[in-house]
Amino acid sequence: MNIENKKTALDDDAAIYQRIEETESAKSERQKFSEMDLKGKYRYFMDYYALKVLIGFLIALLVGYIVYVAVRPKPDTVAQIVVVDSPWAKYTLDSYRETLEKDLGLAPEKEEILLNSSYQSANSSDITAISTFLFANTLDIIISTRPEALRYAENAVFLPLEEQLPADLLAVIPEEDYLQCERTDEESDGKTHVYAIRVNNTAFGKYVTPEGYKAPEMYLGIHPCSDERVELSFNILRVMYGLPIPE
């Protein structure tokens, strides 16, 4: 007797019977569903299909979001601000950045300001990163403590302000808030100039400083990337002092 052939035949028969049973079962389920009333069909759907449909919907939603994030255009960075040795909380600075973008009239989701407050003067990697931004002409404003502001001013990083500031800003900035020094590079004219402005008492300083907290003196200097971006930096200063933006 050929046991192997018999076993194969049995296996084939079993597979056929299984398919028949599955077909009859599917017909039975369809017949059962067609005989149900509306309430029964709803309960049947909820018991057997609702979870699958929900999971499929969530997967489709996730895939759609990933595709949207991947293909949507990134906003243009119109200005970059770095805060060195920040005494302020990151979330308050982020909140102020949103206010700044709104007051400047930037197009939502199309234009943005980068504001990074994580840099520390004692960290050589942070200082190298700032130097890279300056060399690439992508950093517009540095806000830092007085010693750091003096270091940048003396090395010709900041724009001399006394002859550059617009009249409306000159009228509201107290003279005692100016940081004055002489450049130490080879192109120095041997004269003292204004290179930075103390911002603690501005609308910006009051916004980001908690009530009752005595923040160290922080100075703002402008790096002249281009004439257009210098003008935008002046507008940022205007917002910080609560002044209107010129038409």
Mean pLDDT of residues grouped by 10 in the chain (247 residues)? 49 50 55 68 72 82 73 83 94 93 90 94 95 95 96 93 92 94 81 93 91 91 94 96 90
pLDDT the model gives residue 62: 82
pLDDT the model gives residue 159: 94
**Domains within the chain, CATH numbers bracketed:** 3-71 (no CATH), 76-240 (3.40.190.10)
CA distances from 47 to 25, 36, 57, 60, 161 (A): 18, 14, 17, 22, 73
Q: What is the largest CA-CA distance in the chain?
A: 115
Q: Are strands 76-84 and 141-145 parallel, antiparallel or unpaired?
A: parallel
Cβ neighbours of residue 238 under 8 Å, at least 6 residues apart?
168, 169, 244, 245
DSSP symbol at 176: G
Q: How far apart are the C-alpha atoms of 53 and 59, rounded to whole Å?
A: 10
| Nearest residue to 149 via CA among 192, 194, 94, 100 | 194
Cβ neighbours of residue 118 under 8 Å, at least 6 residues apart?
86, 90, 126
Q: How far apart are the C-alpha atoms of 138 and 80, rounded to whole Å?
A: 7
pLDDT the model gives residue 184: 81
pLDDT the model gives residue 17: 47
> 234 by DSSP, 3-state: which?
helix
pLDDT the model gives residue 227: 92
Q: What is the DSSP string of 76-144?
A: EEEEEEEEES--S-HHHHHHHHHHHHHHTTPPTTTEEEEEEEEE-TT-HHHHHHHHHHHHTT---EEEE
pLDDT the model gives residue 19: 53
pLDDT the model gives residue 20: 47
